[in-house]
Structure 1
Amino acid sequence: MSETKKLPKRTEISDKYKWKVEKIYKDIDEWEKDFKALKENAAILPGYQGKLNNPSELLSFLQESEKVDRLAETLMVYAHLKSDEDTSNTTYQGLKNKIDSYLAELASLSAFFVPEVLSLPEDYPERAMEEVQQLKLYDFFLKDIFKSKPHILSKPEEEILASISDNLQAPHNIFNMLTNADMTFPTIVDEKGEKVELTEGNYNSFIKSKDRRVRKEAFKGLFETYEKYNNTLGTSLSSSMKNFIFQAKTRKYSSALEASLKPNNIPLEVYDNALETINNNVDLLHRYVKIKKQLLGLEEMHIYDLYVPLIDIPKEEIPFEQGVELVKTALKPLGKEYIDIFSDGIEKGWIDVFENKGKRGGAYSWGTYDTMPYVLLNYNETLNDVSTLAHEMGHSIHSFYSKKEQPYIYSQYTLFCAEVASTTNEILLIHYLIDNEKDSRRKLFLINQELEQIRTTVFRQLMFAEFEKITHELLEEGNPLTAKEYSSIWHDINVKFFGEDIVVDKEIDMEWARIPHFYRDFYVYQYATGYAAASAFANSILTDSERGVKEYKKFLKSGGKDYPINILKDSGVDMTTPAPLEATLERFKSLLDMLENIK
């Protein structure tokens, strides 16, 4: 056997595969200079207290607050990006902690704003806009504040909440450092008989291995490692959820779920209807498992068999440059302008491509109004990594359009809309691959890929959503939850969703412990609703290109200028009905029919 493959150090990665964070700040000295300027500028904000009944003073505050917020965001994003490059680098950990701590202080400096505005007569915004025309820019912003009046606290209470915001993030920060910097996974033997250090990044490749020994070894290695930290991870998750429940109660919401959905004017029924729709169609997932078990020729199917492709085709390594070209070709229906933006992003250093020692796992898109979008990848030359590239660039180009077309105040789209653009790209990619594949076996492989896309983005995320609903409600009722209870709840959900044709291995009971999105309460359901909306957009783009692209770009350019339900509906997708999700499940059913035809 050859030597164990080790992850490269950050310095061993070519610069052409690293994001160009130096375009934000060339060095720490520049960052520190802006950090000092931020504190000086922020000190002006409390001076507006008691003056907001004067429309001119209100406008001045909003303009000064924007300058401060934009600078704070730039400082924060730089520090976090640099820290994520190597989470063991204490210099950038310190920089990140410095800005994160100050953000709590910054929030307290302007905590008076919303309570003071809400103390004014409800017709004040209209009168103020008539007197100072520039305030008309803030029409939706101000009306949205008045809508939230029942949930806004007094000035002293708002200041207290703002001052402890950094502390409330502690569970997430602990989870992040434990899973990214401190935890190490065992060495396993890959398909070639070589020893390889297991990581969160390469686990996604091993779990799809055609060699059952490899995927079982990776599965056990990963989750047995999480099991060693089960008490710490259980405590951090409970603390995170309790923090959110505390904030929800403090702000007089009826539940944590309402606190998450109501600020964006999303009816609670959207969440509940999604869970009801998926539970009514869980037999489709049972059917998928049964077909997969038969096609894989397994007497006994396990959870670690779920991700393996049904069709045995030669393993294809897709270099990053080839993956870029593949995505660009698949996205051609979106038009030249979109592809040009995509290409420009690659050339200008939006993306940090490869995994390195200490680098944060997973993938994301992030940036500010005053920076280019940045994409973190851990590219491993698989088709799944190509799909991740399409996904994250979807986020980034959504951000690009939003900040180009919207003023700062409306440039940030809501979480409900966040996954739509990214998933539209993924769907266009898989449709292109299926439609243009001539080899029948590879075509079936790709059909399974789309099935897996729907399984993991719709069924799996709504499994997560159900777990969140159950656990939050139990905590709200005063029931203590530990790792033991979380594992039991997660086990039962897996049994219900996957059915009787699979062994729900005990190791999977710890899966809740590795889901970072559980630290963003009630976020994950939006992957499923986002996929449903994305399916509607993709279908429109592919069947009626001119109208479809026009409506889709209208969505991309809308930012946060209205509530998400309205933005989607105005672009042709009505999420208040179960129709988009039901249509996605119908696509899943038709793909199952294709599989059954080859049995």
Structure 2
Amino acid sequence: MKLIPLIACLSLAAMTAAPVSAIQAAKPSKTDRRIPMNQVLKRSEVPAENRWKLEDIFADQKAWDSEYDQVKKLVKDIGKFEGKLNEAKPIKECFALEDEISLHLERLYVYANMRHHEDMAEPTYQSLSDKAKKLNVEVGEALSFITPEILSLSDEKLQALVANAELAKYKKTLVDMLRQKPHILSKQEEALLAQVGNLSQAPETIFGMLNNADLKFPKVKNENGEEIELTQGRYIQFLESRDRDVRKNAFEAMYGTYGKLRNTLAATLSANLTKNIFYSKARKYPSALESSLYGDKIPVDVYNNLISAIHESLPLLHRYMELRKKLLKVDELHMYDLFAPLVDEFKMDITYEEAKKTVLESVKPLGETYVNILQQGFDNSWIDVYENEGKRSGAYQWGAFGTHPFVLLNHKDNLNSMFTLTHEMGHALHSYMSDTHQEYRTAQYTIFLAEVASTLNEALLMEYLLKHSTDPKQKMYLLTYYADQFRTTVFRQTMFAEFEKIIYEKAEKGESLTHQDLSKIYYDLNLQYHGTGMVVDKEIEMEWARIPHFYTSFYVFKYATGFSAATSFAKQILEEGEPAVDRYLGFLQSGSSDYSIEILKRAGVDMSSPEPVRQAMSVFGSLIEQMEQLTK
């Protein structure tokens, strides 16, 4: 069974498509309705042009229900293959039915959860989401016999099946099965693991409800003295305020709120660790980390080398902290100062419509085809734009094979939101192009590759903005923003990755992880990463409690590796032109037709080497030097 993962994306606030017969002609942009910061609309009040069109998946609830019933029926049919998967013909037929079931399930699951994310307090879609999750577990249980039954065959028989022309469409599936053979359990054990799937979802579900629906934050005074309710979506805007008291009050209000639930949140995160350790042990992996990396065939050394390489580069981050302190003209640099604008006289106020136009211009180096598909996404309701009451925080791209991609935003009229837009649409076009050029089984790219396309779009946008900047103040603003991308996407995400590594190692040794333990580990890492040139405020020790990525374990390191790979791709595209563009488009079209490291290597980036990370760090160093020159 293949279920497309939600590509939960990095944002400064916290943080697949089907073939289409022809690219539609671009339509005139609709009028952009700007939503004031101090107004959070109810879902029903959001203008239609600012909402994604989930009707492109299911026209109405009746259509969803009909497809749900169809899956329930198909699941019963899969049982006829049990005990017969020893020849090419029944295996081929079984795989075909498995694909049909999975395709329908994806549509049901994605639709139900995206409806739920529109307003997570809405009980109708809470119920629909739960129903889809339970169906997912039921399907997983029904299909659980397939892999262990095939792997019970002799090695000689398995090798013959891999070479069988009748099964050519499923060759990679069979090769992957052979790789997984040491970690596949008996038929009965696999069925049992499938049955506990509902239990395994509990930590993430509980955290999601706490974080997005139940947590209420106090009001914070803005620069004008107006009391504004603090929300996840507004938090970064408060931290970007030019008024230091606004920043400080928002920072303390945010982490003070999480601190009130420290015991519950620690227990929830610990339960997630326990779940993943259970699965890794059950499947005979040496650790949860190795279990996480095995599917993508990524050596553990890639993870460890990233942390080591970033440790070597921490003096660069400390140098940037000293520069930030100097530019802000403060005696002490605090954690709530890290997003404060460094150019007092310059502000970039960018509407959503302006952001779309700029993003389209910035990706022109990728060619006409890429630009046309992007325009189609802008014109045809792929995107849910603004925050509303109860809406899931952050940003992501999601979809199912047979639909166009969908993007969730919580857009604000600022530079960060424009970068988030191009980031998410990078994911969307990666999904679109992979689905267009690959069969269903190899269409979905791995999470390890996911952040490359999104971050490349960001690199091209920054290059475009810097190239067209004539105002020294604007250039400093952009350089600061880019430097902060390195800080948040490479350094910060690597710090997250190191935090995960530490807590999993402790949990696997049987050590306790109380909220005090988690907070101390997290605080000490902040001290190490940010250096002695700034004040690491005590409140930051609770930040671990609000990071949703920790519930998708060992995910965040891929932001740092993806950023490094994207830096390398951008350099090649801008210097070489068409040959590099062709290699890159080939990467976008590859899906999971090969292992991630090999797909990147063919396109011209070798992530088994530390070189891409070092290249990224050299760019970061160059940014700091340019900023230092502008301040002289």
Could you tell which deviates more after superposition, 133-142 or 32-41? 133-142
TM-superposed CA distance for 1:314, in Å, is 3.6
Answering whether residue 270 of structure 2 is matched by residue 241 of structure 1, we say: no
Q: Secondary structure at the match of 1:448?
A: helix
Q: Assess if the C-alpha contact under 8 Å between 1:364 and 1:392 holds in 2.
A: yes
Q: Which residue of structure 2 aligns with residue 48 of structure 1?
A: 81
SS in 1 for 2:155: coil
Letter in 1 for 2:50: Y
User: 1:95-142 CA deviation, whole Å, 9 max, x = no partner?
Assistant: 0001101211111111111111111122334534665x3410111210
Match of 2:107 in 1: 74
Tell me which residue corresponds to 1:86.
119
Q: Is the 8 A contact 2:88 2:166 kept in 1?
A: no
Residue 247 of structure 2 corresponds to 215
Contact 2:425-2:454 at 8 Å conserved across structures: yes
Q: Tell me if 1:63 matches 2:92.
A: no
Residue 544 of structure 1 corresponds to 576
Aligned-partner Cα distance in 2 for 1:580–1:155: 43
Look up the equivalent residue of 1:172 and give its one-letter code. E
- Within a 5 Å distance, the mapping from 1:42-191 to structure 2 comes to 42-128=75-161, 133-191=165-223
| Deviation of 1:191 (Å) | 1.6
1: CA distance between counterparts of 2:79 and 2:286?
A: 32
Residue aligning to 1:388: 420
Q: 1:309-342 deviations in whole A, cap 9, x for unaligned?
A: 2212343321111110011111111111101000
Pairing 1:337–2:378 present: no
Which residue identity lines up with residue 274 of structure 2 in the other structure? K
Deviations, residues 77-102 of structure 1 (Å, cap 9, x unaligned): 00001000000110011000011012
Q: Deviations over 1:543-593 (max 9, x none)?
A: 111111111101100000111001100111000110000010011111111
Change (3 A) 1:20 1:119: same
CA distance in 1, matches of 2:231, 2:105: 33
Give the letter for the 2:308 counterpart: E
Determine which of 20, 34, 53 is the counterpart of 2:53. 20
Paired position in structure 2 for 1:295: 327
The letter for the 2-side match of 1:206 is F
How big is each residue's C-alpha offset from its partner over 1:138-163, in whole Å with a ceiling of 9 and x where there is no partner? 11210111111111111111101111
The 1-side partners of 2:530 and 2:487 are apart by 11
CA distance in 1, matches of 2:162, 2:243: 67
Deviation digits for residues 26-50 of structure 1 (CA, Å, limit 9, x no counterpart) = 2211111110110001111111011
Offset from partner CA, 1:485-528 (integer Å, 9 cap, x none): 11100000000000111111111100001100000111100000
How far, CA to CA, are the matches of 1:582 and 1:129 in structure 2?
A: 39
Give the whole-Å Cα distance in 2 for the aligned partners of 1:443 and 1:143.
Answer: 51
TM superposition shift of 1:428: 0.7
Deviation readout 1:341-378 (Å, 9 max, x if unpaired): 00101111100000001111100000010111000000
Give SS of 2:132's match: helix
CA contact (8 A) 1:428 1:538 kept: yes
Aligned to 1:376: 408
Counterparts of residues 350-361 of structure 1 (less than 5 Å): 350-361=382-393
Distance 1:522 1:129 in 2: 31
1:455-487 C-alpha deviation (Å, 9 max, x unpaired)? 100000000000000000000000010111111
Note if contact 1:313-1:442 (Cα within 8 Å) is conserved in structure 2. Answer: no
Tell me, which stretches of 5 or more residues in structure 1 are unaligned?
A: none
Alignment match of 1:583 (pick from 615, 622, 627): 615
Corresponding position: 1:419 with 2:451: yes
Indicate conservation of the 8 Å contact 2:423/2:458, yes or no: yes
Are 2:312 and 1:280 aligned? yes
1:213-254: per-residue Cα shift (whole Å, max 9, x none)?
111111111111111111111100000011001100110000
Q: What TM-score does the superposition give when structure 2 sets the normalisation length?
A: 0.93
Identity %: 44
Q: State the Cα distance separating 1:73 from its structure 2 match.
A: 0.5
Give the SS at the match of 1:284: helix
Residue pair 1:303, 1:505 contacting (<8 A) in 2 also: yes
* Distance of 2:464 and 2:378 partners within structure 1: 21
Q: Distance in 1 between matches of 2:37 and 2:626?
A: 41
Q: 2:460 and 2:256 mapped to 1: Cα distance? A: 37
Are residue 9 (structure 1) and residue 42 (structure 2) matched? yes
* Aligned-partner residue type, residue 452 of structure 1: D
Which residue of the other structure, out of 256, 268, 284, is the alignment partner of 2:288? 256
1:325 to 357, 369, 376: 357
Q: Separation in 1 of the partners of 2:222 and 2:570?
A: 37
Pair 157,449 (structure 1): closer, same or farther in 2 beyond 3 Å: same
1:476 to 508, 511, 519: 508
> 2:29: which partner in 1?
none
Report the equivalent of 2:551: 519
Partner of 2:72: 39
> Could you tell which deviates more after superposition, 210-219 or 75-84?
210-219
Contact 2:266–2:545 under 8 Å retained in 1: yes
Mapped to 1, the partners of 2:156 and 2:91 lie a distance apart of: 15
Is 1:224 aligned to 2:248, yes or no? no
Counterpart contact for 1:4–1:194, Cα < 8 Å: no
TM-score, scaled relative to structure 1: 0.98
Distance 2:464 2:39 in 1: 35
Q: Is 1:227–1:510's contact at 8 Å kept on the other side of the alignment?
A: yes
Q: Do 1:6 and 1:196's aligned partners in 2 also have CA atoms closer than 8 Å?
A: no
Give structure 2 stretches of 5+ with no counterpart: 1-35
Matched, 1:409 2:441: yes
Alpha-carbon contact 1:264-1:563 (below 8 Å) kept:
yes
Of 47-56 and 187-196, the range deviating more from structure 2? 187-196
SS in 1 for 2:295: helix
Which residue does the alignment assign to 1:367? 399
Letter in 1 for 2:376: D
What SS does structure 1 have at the residue aligned with 2:397?
strand
3-state SS of the aligned residue for 1:254?
A: coil
Aligned-partner residue type, residue 223 of structure 1: Y
* Distance (Å, rounded) in 2 between the aligned partners of 1:513 and 1:130: 49
Partner in structure 1 of residue 18 of structure 2: none
- Contact 1:285/1:497 (CA < 8 Å) preserved in 2? yes
Q: 2:297 aligns with which of 265, 287, 305?
A: 265
How many residue pairs were aligned? Answer: 596
Between the aligned partners of 1:201 and 1:164, the Cα distance in structure 2 is 34
Q: Find the counterpart in structure 1 of residue 14 from structure 2.
A: none
Paired residue type of 2:347? K
- Aligned mates of 2:436, 2:174 — CA distance in 1: 22
Structure 1 Cα separation of the partners of residues 553 and 224 of structure 2: 41
Q: CA–CA distance in 2 between the matches of 1:167 and 1:129?
A: 35
Aligned to 2:7: none
CA change 1:222–1:67 in 2 (3 A) is same
Looking at structure 2, the residues matched to 181 and 138 of structure 1 have their Cα atoms a distance apart, in angstroms, of 42
Does residue 554 in structure 1 map to residue 586 in structure 2?
yes
1: CA distance between counterparts of 2:576 and 2:412? Answer: 35
Three-state SS of the structure 1 residue aligned to 2:58 is: coil
Residues in 2 aligned to 1:353 and 1:562: alpha-carbon distance in whole angstroms: 34
The whole-number CA distance in structure 2 between the counterparts of 1:19 and 1:307 is: 30
Give the Cα separation in 2 of the matches to 1:99 and 1:313: 51
Equivalent pair of 1:4/1:195 in contact (CA under 8 Å): no
